[in-house]
Each structure stands twice: as structure tokens, then as C-alpha cells.
Amino acid sequence: MPAELIDGTAIAREVRSDVARDTARLIARGIRPGLAVVLVGENPASAVYVRAKGKASEEAGMHSVTIRLPADTTQAQLFEQVDRLNADPAIHGILVQMPLPKQIDSQAVVRRVRPEKDVDGFHPVNAGKLLIGERDGFAPCTPAGVQEMLVRSGIETKGSECVIVGRSTIVGKPMAALLIQDAPGANATVTICHSRTVDLGAHTRRADILIVAAGRPRFITGDMVKPGSVVIDVGINRVDDVRAKNGYILVGDVDFATVREVAGRITPVPGGVGPMTIAMLLKNTVRAAELASAELASAGAAA
């Protein structure tokens, strides 16, 4: 029997509906969560993502600001914008869309955003908090979305063998940090595999939960998967296909046709992890607003 599909679009809709409810509650208390998205240049894929983020935050009832800067923006000019947003009390979350033009040092920009407004979860302070298990930081949206999907699909992570393929700062490493915590939706035994791993299949075949973020189309094939396991495909790749209207199709890092014959449950591409990322961005933004209001209240009580 082919694997059951894990429907990321439906789960993301649930998360976004929870976010809209929490946003309405905050608005009733006089706080409207605000998200600012900054786009530098005209990368077409980035422009699509930025529009989607703006639209989703508006739909959730948030205050939404999109700042578009020209491709020749200097680092100092971008810092000026970030500093302004850092100081703006109506903005609780700031996201600077990556990749940035080459004259700009992305890591310096990541560090410039106040950690309390870093809803991307990229700032070293938030990366550190995630690793330590401090709950008042922000986890990067894609791995947080994978964890949310597992929890909402009723997939037990506690004591499971979880194998992650890919060690990126945005997905693989924070994914491992999330799943090793002594917390709900975690407590897994985690292995991270990467381009220098010897005998990758020996690792992936042990996985009860296999999470693939390798950036290589159809990299994981059916023979590399444990029968009945859960397979989460974080990849999204364009591959040429003459039968497609626009000449290409989107595929994951998992070879869906062969893996779905072996796995118990699997995320499709598109419609799997992708929609979860924006949902988690909204969730982080609401939490940033809640934390900011709690901070204000305690500062007021102390004064």
C-alpha cells in the first residue's frame, strides 16, 4: 500500500487559523502584531515569497509592512532600515529576505536585527537559545514547521530514530536542536548526515523519521528508506520536464515515486513542508508581540 500523504497545506491552514485567533485576542488588548519584510533587489523567487508573506500576515489580521529596496542598496542603507524597524514599537517581527545582493554581508544583517524581533530565528542569540532549550527565543520557520507537522499529525517523536539529511544553518542544524530537546514533539535520537557521510543509506534505512533537506532533486530513493517510516521532504527543486506547460516541474529531495511505495507516511512536494514555513513565521510574529507586551507590562510594574 502506498504511503499516506501528510497534507502540509491543510496543517498550515490550521496553524494560520490559530494565529488569526491569537492575533484577534492581542488586538482586543490593544496590541496589533506587526511584521516587516524587507526585500533588496528583484530576485523573482524572493519577490514571490515576500508577496506571500505580506498577504498571509494581512490575512491573519496583522499590521504588515513590506519595504522594497533597490539592488544597489549599500550595507549602511540596509542597516539604517533595520535600525528604524528595530526601534519601531508597531513592528514585532523583522524578516530580511535572503539571498541578499553580494555587496551586503548577510551575516552582519542577521546580527543587526534585534533578537527579540528576529522571527526568522537566524540571529546567533536565537540559535543559542534553541540549542540550550530556552523557550523565549525563536526557532527558524522551516524546521519549526516540520516539528509542528509531526505533532499535528500525531507522529510520536519520543524515543524515535530520527535521521536528518543536510546540515544547513537554516534547516538541518536547527532541526536537530529542536528534536533532541527534552520537550513535547522532541526527545528523539537524532543523526545528522551530510555530503561527507559514509554509507548514507545505512543511516537513512534506520530512520523511523527521515527528514531530507539536501538540496538535491530526488536524492533519496525507495531502497534507502525503512518500511513504514515517516518521510519529510524539505527540498524544492526545479527540474526540466518537456511535458510541463512552463518546461519544468517542482520536485523534492525525495524520489516520491519509489519512496511512497516503502514509507508509511510522506510529505508531497509541493504541498508538504513549504506552506508550513509561512505559517510558522506568523506564529513567531504573534509570539514576538506577546513577549514584547509581557516585557512592557513587567517594565511598567517595576517603574
Site string for ligand GUN, 128-147 (x = CB under 6 A): -------------x------
CB 60 within 8 A of CB 279: no
Binding flag, residue 96, ligand GUN (CB under 6 A): yes
Binding flag, residue 97, ligand GUN (CB under 6 A): yes
- Of the residues 91, 95, 230, 251, which one makes contact with ligand GUN according to CB under 6 A: 95
Number of residues this chain uses to bind ligand GUN (CB under 6 A): 7
Residues 6+ apart with CB under 8 A from 122: 110, 113, 140, 169, 170
Q: Pairing mode, if any, of strands 230-233 and 209-212?
A: parallel
- Of the residues 22, 118, 120, 255, which one makes contact with ligand GUN according to CB under 6 A: 120
Residues 218-247 close enough to bind ligand GUN by CB under 6 A: none
| Closest CB to ligand GUN among residues 94, 231 | 94
Q: 3-state class of 175 per DSSP?
A: helix
Binding flag, residue 208, ligand GUN (CB under 6 A): no
Q: 3-state class of 230 per DSSP?
A: strand
Q: Pairing mode, if any, of strands 34-40 and 93-96?
A: parallel
Binding flag, residue 109, ligand GUN (CB under 6 A): no
Site string for ligand GUN, 257-296 (x = CB under 6 A): --------------------x-------------------
The verdict on whether 75 is a catalytic residue reads no
CB 256 within 8 A of CB 221: no
Radius of gyration of the chain (CA): 20
Within a 13 Å sphere around the CA of 7, how many CA atoms are in the beta-carbon half? 5
Residues lying near ligand GUN in the complex (CB under 6 A) are found at 95-98, 120, 141, 277
